[in-house]
Amino acid sequence: MPARGRVLLLHPNLGIQESISKIFPSYEWLVDPASNLAHCLAMLDQREYQALLVGRCGSGWSAEEVLDQVRRRHPRVAVVVLSDNGSPQEAIRLGRLGLDDYVAEATPPDQLARRLREIVAQPAPDPLATLSAGGTILVGRSRAMRKVAETIRLIACRRSTVLITGSTGTGKELVARLIHAIGPRAAQEMVTVNCGAIPEHLLEAEFFGHVKGAFTGAVVGRVGRFEQANSSTLFLDEIGDMPLDLQAKVLRAVQERDFQRVGSSQTVRVDVRVIAATNSDLAEKVRRGEFREDLYYRLNVVPIAMPTLADRLEDVPHLVEHFLDAICREEQLPAKRVTREAMERMREYHWPGNVRQLENAIEKAVVLSGEREALYPSDFELPAAAPRLDAGLLQGVGLPAGGVDLDALLTRIELSLLQQALERTGGNKNRAAQILGLKRTTLSAKLKSCRAANS
């Protein structure tokens, strides 16, 4: 009977390993056993598997750890946990982390094999549809992005204030738009204020509006952003840049949902959901007296921390596919594809500008590639990743019986590597620094230090 596919079994019990390995081929499955997590991950790297069976009675790993490691490196492998001691709550929690199924270890082999067929036969979940609404899509299947998506689902229908933190380009505004789009206020347009882009003397009127004659130039009254966002969502972007003297008034508006227009004593009440975002460390600003502590805690009711792209590089292929498709459609160009070499280069790059930098790099590559279908590493102009240190290089290094001057030895090794990098690049310090994963200034400083130590 031809095999339907191959299953990897992570289980410490050799008897169970042997039993399943012998029985499963009768149900069209080939089985490879693994006794520990490191062995399991190595086998997943070496061979294609349709499913991974995980025994919960194993020591040295947890289901959470297995899911985290496997989803990072092999997101399309179906993962099934075998346990007779689990609870429905645990199954739900693991499902949120990417588990495909949770079955009793005592399940008869024919039923377990049939369940595997059902799971593998199901279409793979769309990695781009982690969460979407109103044309806004949160892209990614990494553990970090699943956590963000789950938080959005839980709070979207609530009124709680949200504080989104993260580096520039991580997608803070996108998350704010998703919270609004899948919530009950979606029928109204979300109102956005960039607190760092408006002159300080105009911010109060921008937030709360003003009446005619409130100040020079106020020839007519104006409704502020809080009032515009009534029955909707107000997104306060770069909240960390808000002047300290305005923070007290914003605190009252956020807390009480009322305010007074500039030049008026009449109180205006609103029903508004507030979402704030910042790339600043607000807790540190509070410590330095640059941000009100009470406003910080009022905003930080539900915190969402956006990961950098460097912290979720496993999402790069999904993001590339998403942006590539969107840009080609917008530019009315035939579909393009990224070569394997280019994709590997993008997965190795650290992306200091985060998702925004990746999107811009893809748009540039699409536009400048003309009619060519394939996009190559040269289309993205990314520096080559520093080569990983092969553990085999260290196997022959032994400690002499008489000991060693470790600092002097390490200095000589470092100087040798620096000189080899310069020789390989013909003396080009920029390229040599890229090979070694250094900044050019760091390379120059190390050269000077090592040469002085060896002189």
CATH of domain 309-379: 1.10.8.60
pLDDT at 375: 94
| CATH superfamily of this structure's domain 131-305 | P-loop containing nucleotide triphosphate hydrolases (3.40.50.300)
pLDDT in tens, 198-221: 887 788 888 998 888 777 777 687
The CATH class of the 407-454 domain is: mainly alpha
- Which residues in the chain are classed under CATH 1.10.8.60? 309-379
CA–CA distance, 306 with 179 (Å, rounded to integer): 14
Task: Give the containing element (helix H, strand E) for 446.
Answer: helix 440-454
DSSP string, 328-375: HHHTT----EE-HHHHHHHHHS--TTHHHHHHHHHHHHHHHTTT-SEE
pLDDT in tens, 131-147: 777 677 888 888 888 88
pLDDT at 428: 78
pLDDT at 172: 96
pLDDT at 129: 47
CATH architecture, domain defined by 5-121: 3-Layer(aba) Sandwich (3.40)
pLDDT at 255: 92
Is pTM beyond 0.75 here?
A: no
Sheet strands (E) in 83-128 = 101-103
Sheet strands (E) in 258-351 = 258-260, 267-269, 273-278, 302-305, 337-338
- Eight-state DSSP code of residue 158: S
Measured CA angle at 255 (ends 251, 260), to 5 deg: 70
pLDDT at 1: 42
Q: Are 49 and 4 a contacting pair, CB within 8 Å?
A: no
- Which residues in the chain are classed under CATH 3.40.50.2300? 5-121
How far apart, in Å, are the Cα atoms of 341 and each of 44, 344, 348, 378, 424?
21, 5, 11, 10, 22
pLDDT at 408: 81
CA–CA distance, 82 with 97 (Å, rounded to integer): 16
Residues with pLDDT less than 50, the chain: 1-2, 126-129, 386
